[in-house]
Amino acid sequence: MLSVLIVNWNTRDLLRACLASIHRFPPDEPYEVIVVDNASSDGSAEMVKDGFPWVRLIEPGANTGYAKGNNIAFGAAKGEWFLTLNPDTEFEDKSIQIALNELRVKTDFGACAVRLVGPDGRRQDSIRAFPTVGGILSDLMGKGDKYRLSAFDYTNPGPAPQPMGTFLLFRRKALEAVGDPHAPFDERFPIFFNEVDLLKRMADKGWPCWYSAAGHVVHHHGASTSKVKKAMVWESHKSLVRYFGKHLRFPALLLLPLIAVAAYMAAFVRAKGYHAGFRH
């Protein structure tokens, strides 16, 4: 069975389109759809109840964030395959089944991503390398492509270090290799870098991610986070510091205080002021 897991916050109309497209282009095998609604104020939960009775709706009663919301969904899931899917996505074909078929063949890979395209049909660059101090610095200075991977060939399938979490299909066996498959996300990364952290842990255990050029999903980028943009800028930079604090090893770990200062200065400039970031 495939478990499709969606964490939603105030994207009612996009979520409706997403669920309708899953129903229109379902996988060719048993599946379930679980929506965790993070206390939306736009009637998202009521819409799911009224329009999609085949969807399992979970209402935690608060905005738990993306990582904990997904863990709640994973905890309720019954599948052998898990698809974490953003609510601002929409299918135009059988790309869910395409990804399943590819990951079944690619037995050495623990996850699969697909092409992301905008509503205008243009490709969205969605694959980056795992963050390193050198990669981030070279990117900021415009002296390299070690992090953003702007030269990545999206027309051909192949290994992909860390795709965006918009559409990620996971193999249960790979999740079991890094911990509890019913709570795979580290909740210290509530909004950003949670999928990066998970994919890094999987890759370190020999379960890298595969990219399918045949499958695609329409992505209305940033539908939830754009509502609180200033807070999300700060949360993104704070999560990068947390990521380095977790994954850097000595002696590079000695650079963490300098990384934190640089990250918070960048956040202050980008957000045009201070904001505390994500709050539960």
Residues 89 and 183 in one domain: yes
Instruction: Look at residue 230 and tell me whether its pLDDT is greater than 60.
Output: yes
What is the structure's pLDDT at 274?
A: 61
Residues 60 and 131 in one domain: yes
Mean pLDDT of 246-253: 82
Instruction: Look at residue 280 and tell me whether its pLDDT is greater than 70.
Output: no
Residue 278 located in a structural domain: no
Residues 238 and 125 in one domain: no
CATH number at residue 32: 3.90.550.10
Q: Tell which wins on pLDDT, 254 or 119.
A: 119
Residues 216 and 247 in one domain: no
Residues 176 and 80 in one domain: yes
What is the structure's pLDDT at 138?
A: 75
What is the structure's pLDDT at 140?
A: 63
Q: With CA atoms as reference, report the closest residue to 16 among 44, 41, 53.
A: 44
Instruction: Kindly report, residue by residue over 133-153, the tens digit of the pLDDT.
Output: 888 777 766 677 888 898 999
Residue ranges of alpha helices (H) inside 2-144 are 12-24, 44-51, 66-76, 95-105, 133-140
Mean pLDDT computed over every residue of the chain: 91
Q: Quote the CA–CA distance of 85 and 122 in Å, as a whole number.
A: 20
Residues 233 and 212 in one domain: no
Residues 17 and 76 in one domain: yes
Residue 65 located in a structural domain: yes
What is the structure's pLDDT at 276?
A: 56
> What are the angstrom distances between the C-alpha of 142 and each of 86, 147, 177, 256, 259?
31, 11, 37, 22, 18
Instruction: Kindly report, residue by residue over 51-94, the tens digit of the pLDDT.
Output: 999 999 999 999 999 999 999 999 999 999 999 999 999 999 99
Residues 183 and 233 in one domain: no
Residue 85 located in a structural domain: yes
Residues 136 and 165 in one domain: yes
Q: Looking at this protein, which amino acid is placed at residue 104?
A: R
Residue 111 located in a structural domain: yes
Instruction: Kindly report, residue by residue over 154-198, the tens digit of the pLDDT.
Output: 999 999 999 999 999 999 999 999 999 999 999 999 999 999 999
Look-up of token digits 């609510």: 87
Residues 265 and 186 in one domain: no
Q: Is 178 in contact with 198 (CB distance < 8 Å)?
A: yes
Residue 36: which pLDDT band, with cuts at 50, 70 and 90? very high
Share of the chain above pLDDT 90, in %: 72
| Cβ-based burial of 155 (10 A; exposed 0-12, middle 13-18, buried ≥19) | exposed
What is the structure's pLDDT at 147?
A: 87
Residue 144 located in a structural domain: yes
Residue 135 located in a structural domain: yes
Residue 231: which pLDDT band, with cuts at 50, 70 and 90? confident
Residues 195 and 85 in one domain: yes
Confidence (pTM): 0.91
What is the structure's pLDDT at 54?
A: 98
Residues 257 and 189 in one domain: no
Q: Looking at 181, 204, 222, which one is the last position of a domain?
A: 222
Into how many domains does the chain fold?
2
Q: Looking at 189, 207, 222, which one is the last position of a domain?
A: 222
Residue 252 located in a structural domain: yes
Mean pLDDT of 198-214: 98
Residue 280 located in a structural domain: no
Show the domain range for 257.
226-271
What is the structure's pLDDT at 228?
A: 58
